[in-house]
Structure 1
Amino acid sequence: MRHPPETSKNGGEAGFTLFEILVALFILTLIFSVLFASYSGTLKVTRDWEDTGRVFSMARSSMERMMKDIESAYPSGQTCPFILEQEVIREKPFPRLSFHSLSRTNPEGPETPPAGISNITYSVRLNSEKGDYELARSETSDSDDIAGSDFVICRGLSSITYRFYDRAGRDISDTFCSSDQKSPPASVVLELTLVNPEDESKPFHFMTRVHPANMSPQES
């Protein structure tokens, strides 16, 4: 048997009281607050992972480019195959590395560039728009038929270090271009540090060792 709906004292159908409505609204507010906090946290974690992934991808491509250049470094008749200079940018010192290399890029297309020796320089610049540091690669050739290139390979740079070692594993960074050091380095250690946008106190650090193939045989 179907019961008739309850009626209020004045004869109308009974509804929710104001207190019950307030309680329901309070519960809904709590539920939506928890859902929003969970969604915001998940979204932040996703953004952090995406930012970290971009930094690692940029560092990997930069290191691969530098490794290829240094592996193909060529003495070109010079006693000191690498020229390492110090530059100060906004009161912060950075190294500037120049050397000859058999490695080439073609900035105008995917075709393989012609063989030959080019002069490559890695230097740090100041990004005027963002105010951070960036690593640039410039390449020139003695041939008039080959166009030079100049482009940024890494942004958000904190520091970069080059260390040079002989075949015995001794650090010759301070003497390899002096009269006391006659042999070219057998290996070069690259250390690249990038800014962590989420926590500047915990930057991203990358390091690799490169063995220039065209210089090792000249070791005495």
Structure 2
Amino acid sequence: MSPPSKGWLARLLEPIAGFGVTFRTMFVKPTTEFYPEQKVPTAPRYHGRHQLNRYPDGLEKCIGCELCAWSCPADAIFVEGADNTATERFSPGERYGRVYQINYLRCIGCGLCIEACPTRALTMTNDYELAGTSRAGMIYDKWQLLAPLDPDMLAPPHPMYPGATDEDYYRGNITGPAPEQAVGPADDDVEPDPEVRR
């Protein structure tokens, strides 16, 4: 025995019931964001543009280990490390990131590079405006990614805090520039500290 067929009225109302959501929302005021005139703040942990951080005295946190590049699933990061010398010190460790590039045409914003960084040199900011007019312009280099210098920081290269080791930097024991560095001496006037571990 076949199931009872629907009445003609039920068959007529079936298509109209499908438009129920449409009819319910036709008279609701739309929520429109007027971007870029009104920029809504992002969530605190939003994954935006990357930033290479500095220590309080201005030295770079990046040690050129390339762990961020190895952890990137999209192969968007290129790092080339170099050795610090007695006359040119960019980071407290033995090495620093001489070349650092992020290709934002490939970056998927996953944050795995942030987790891989052993010195917390790489973090992500809330800057989400990453549109560009050329493909080459979407490859950010080290100078576009470095955090700006605070007024009491000295631009590297310069020696480490007198008597400090790279471990003091990594443990957060350096809270500001050395007294002679705060004035901002010329690079050729600075003598390397003999106590610095190489």
Q: Normalized against structure 1, the TM-score is what?
A: 0.27
Name whichever structure is richer in strand by fraction.
1
